[in-house]
Amino acid sequence: MRGLGWWVRSASACVLALVVAGCSFGNKEPDLSPDRFLVVWAGDADRKQSDFLAVIDADPGSGTYGKVLRTIPVKSSGNEPQDVNSELRFDRRVFATGLLSGRTFVFDLRDPLAGSLAWVDDPKGQRALTAPRAVVTVPGGRVVVACADQQGYRGDALEVLGSPGGLRVLGNDGRFLRDLSAGGGPARGFVVAPSGAAVRPNLNVMVTTNQAHGFTPSTRGDLMPGITVQVWGLPALNLKQTVVLEAGPRGEENLGPRTPRFFRDRPFVLVNTHDGGALYVSDSAQTDTPAFRLVYDFGVGSLPAGAAVTPDDRWYVTALPGVNKVVALDVRDPWKPKEASDLDFDVDPDPNGKGGERQGGPSALAMSLDGMRIAVADYTVDTPAYVLDGDRRVYLLRLDRSTGQLRFDDAFRDENTGEIGVDFNRESWPHGRTGPARPAGLLFVSPARPEGDR
């Protein structure tokens, strides 16, 4: 019979193994192994060749840091690649949305260097919702895609407030399950165009933002921004509340809510507003009466886009394509954010390089699991109603977790030009000489561990 000491040692070893592996009971989470690769969802620039997912070496010690190691074409063009899932899934599937085509692409990246296109959800214009944007995973592995518009949306006066978008629900393999309207009830009379999404599983809540109508290819005229955030219950995906963001002193801070991001340990969610150039915060999204407060003004024309919060809930990082910056805020007190640093993207970041101005345009943004690296893509969107280009580069930034200082990772360089940042304006890719591309959604990934090692 084994003694008490054996059981104590065995239990301790088990706990240590779980901590090291980053495992959890119930819904499994990704392990905390180093983020060895960066995947970039990219569109062919002239929309004549296939769009593709690029796998870039993100291991500083590899000897090929910054090299495009593999590309996975999707065998269709003109999708206008938009977002990918904001967090690494345990099954290493990457879901990527095509804004203009309405498609959602599913990549199997258990081994990123041998990754493949596993499935394409192609509505073929036969569903009510379209213009898919943000992608999140909800408990149980299902995928929710925020769809901004109804099929065939043109922007007529009656459509702006009477054609709500909604949520597309996919299985963990990407197969279509159902579409849910985000309209009706308290949402009546508002622009309802789900664009961003964030999930807090332990609070059983999801938040979506209504940035704007008008991302369909049939749109005539300009984007029509919203002013509301919506709160959904999990796991049922029932719409609980539609919350109006109140404007501030400028009278427009609430326009175009874009990217929501939850804290991990405290019940806060932060929402930036693309057209309003501001930041709102709530600590009551999980309650029956959620409320959001304006807490920071990035400025007129700043156009906040991608955003992330560090794992310790201390730093909030967001891209400002309107002023060609990425900024880090100290959010230890979420009601009173303070700027810690910013980086300019419209100048050459290499002091020993060619120097001079660059177009800039940072928009999509992804953070590594440890919160110390941020990937940024210089491109936003090109649709009939709205165009915001950039210089089509992908950069890696380093974040000092003690001070909030941002800096360019000057070791992450283009394999062809030697310049800081990977240039997507190139002629040749691993899948062929298809010419320049536009980088959009980003995600750090690591290979799945063998079954016996989990």
- Please say if the pLDDT value at position 296 is more than 70: yes
- What is the domain extent for residue 186? 123-301
Q: Is residue 238 part of a domain?
A: yes
How large is the average pLDDT for residues 220-241? 96
Q: What is the pLDDT of residue 177?
A: 97
Q: Is residue 272 part of a domain?
A: yes
* 3-class SS letters over 359-390: CCCCCEEEECCCCCEEEEECCCEECCCCEECC
Instruction: List beta partners, residue 330.
Output: 315, 338
Q: Is residue 254 part of a domain?
A: yes
Q: Is residue 343 part of a domain?
A: no
How does pLDDT run across 336-377, given as a tens digit for each residue? Answer: 999 999 999 999 999 887 778 899 999 999 999 999 999 999
Q: Is residue 440 part of a domain?
A: no
Q: Is residue 108 part of a domain?
A: no
CATH number reported for the structural domain that contains residue 129 in this entry: 2.130.10.10
Environment class of residue 142 by beta-carbon count within 10 Å: exposed (0-12), middle (13-18) or buried (19+)?
Answer: middle
Which range among 35-49, 403-417, 436-450 shows the weakest confidence by mean pLDDT?
A: 436-450
- Please say if the pLDDT value at position 386 is more than 80: yes
Domain total of the chain: 1
Q: Is residue 100 part of a domain?
A: no
Better-predicted residue by pLDDT, 453 or 352: 352
How large is the average pLDDT for residues 99-111? 97
Which range among 3-7, 42-46, 144-148, 414-418 shows the weakest confidence by mean pLDDT?
A: 3-7
Does this model's pTM top 0.85? My answer is yes
Q: Is residue 412 part of a domain?
A: no
For residues 418 and 348, the answer to whether their CB atoms sit within 8 Å is: no
Mean predicted lDDT score pLDDT of the chain: 91
Which range among 11-20, 146-155, 195-204, 241-250 shows the weakest confidence by mean pLDDT?
A: 11-20
What is the C-alpha separation between 307 and 105, in angstroms, rounded?
23
